[in-house]
Amino acid sequence: MKFLKIYSEAFQENWRYSIRPETILEISPATFLLHTLRIQGLYFGTYVVFNMLVSFANWKKVQSFSSVMRTYYNEGKISFSMFLFNVFPWNLFTLVFSFLLAMLIAGSLSHLFLWLLGEERKSYFRILGITAFSNFYILLSFFPILLLFNIAPGSFRQDTFKLVFFLSLNGIFLLAGFLLQAILFVRGLKSCFGLNTGKAVLTWSFPLVLFAFLITISLK
């Protein structure tokens, strides 16, 4: 079917950038960025639809949880951001916006770090594209996590062992996505900008370190 072919071609293109990052240099930075954003948009749009279908299939549970979160927010027990991340359908829009904003900020900070290192081969569009195609695997981890959260019986929350196992299973999917993102981002930097492994790892970690520093400062 045509729509399956579209998904397959998008996945294969992203996979080609992943295993052969040198092919990124065969197209212009702007074209590469547009291709990666198209892939992100296709799969993110699918995730939103999938999330809505799963939520409607578990409508009573979703409504009950959203009602509890609204009560907590009205009583001042949770922040507005926590409210947005937990109440349907605002959680969908908040997730999409936060994911794309984080990708933009991370790519921009990585580009800034390359500038601080004095790298002459840097390209803003290309580094944003590398951020996008590597983040694709974090996005893929959202699908099984969403499914697990919605099919897990309520008894899991009452049994400590089951709850720990359930959260660990979700954590494995998310951790796998983050590890793939880190590895592929570093490989992309090495292939496109000629960085050694040390500089590439530092460039990847710079946004995370800066974010952790700002969080630490804000908590004091």
179-199 tens-digit pLDDT: 999 999 999 999 998 889 999
Q: What is the CA radius of gyration of the chain?
A: 20
Number of domains in the chain: 1
Rounded to whole angstroms, the Cα distance separating 126 from 114 reads: 12
| Beta-carbon count within 10 A of 9 CB | 12
3-class DSSP assignment, residue 47: helix
Q: How far apart are CA 128 and CA 37, in angstroms?
A: 9
pLDDT over threshold 90, residue 82:
no
Residue 203 burial (CB count, 10 A): 25
Task: Give the residue from 185, 213, 23 showing the smallest Cα distance to 110.
Answer: 185
Query: Apex CA 9: angle with CA 139 and CA 24, to 5°?
Result: 75
pTM across the whole model: 0.86
The whole-number average pLDDT for the span 109-119 is 89
Print the domain residue range for 47.
Answer: 2-219
**Looking at the predicted structure, is the pLDDT value of residue 141 above 80?**
yes
